[in-house]
Amino acid sequence: LTSLKGKPAAKGEVVVIRGQVFRPDGKALDGALVEIWQANAAGRYAHPGDGPTSGPLDPGFQGWGKALTGVYGQYQFKTVVPGAYLAAPDWRRPPHIHFKITPKKGAPLITQMYFAGAAELNRKDGILQRLTPAQQKAVTVQFVADEKGVKHGNFDIVVAGAE
């Protein structure tokens, strides 16, 4: 998502998100389609329905990606930390990434991944706060820098009803 042919590099802090997709019994789901979409570093989606009040568009940032899981259910995306944006006059959405996981057999799961580094905004997010503390912990990811300074986070996903 950070490098588009013929465009400048995406603006913002680059991160790598990786994880595995599982069934509730712990079996890895290979061949599941993992799709993500998100706002850019300025808090704007690359979607015609998102207006300029969210921030400027970034021509170097695609805003979405997709991957098939490997034999052990693994996936990976290189992206940027999305910016927070105003969802309502009294509600600022924290940085988050939308995920849709479609297994070979079974119903898709749509969820969101949050960034642990945005704790203050996370505590005020109307969507995240609807979850139990255990659910909040499951969808909030801590990122850690590697030796090159690139931050990595792990987001494992369990898809109920997948075969």
- Residues annotated as catalytic (active site), given as ranges: 45, 85, 92, 96, 98
Place of tokens 């990811």: 141
CA–CA distance, 43 with 58 (Å, rounded to integer): 10
1 neighbors 30 (Cβ within 8 angstroms)? no
Cα–Cα distance between 132 and 140 in angstroms, integer? 12
**Percentage helix, strand, coil, to 5, in the chain?**
15, 35, 50
CB 116 within 8 A of CB 142: yes
Distance, in Å, from the CA atom of 95 to the CA atom of 54, rounded to the nearest integer, reads: 13
CA–CA separation, 18 and 33 (whole Å): 14
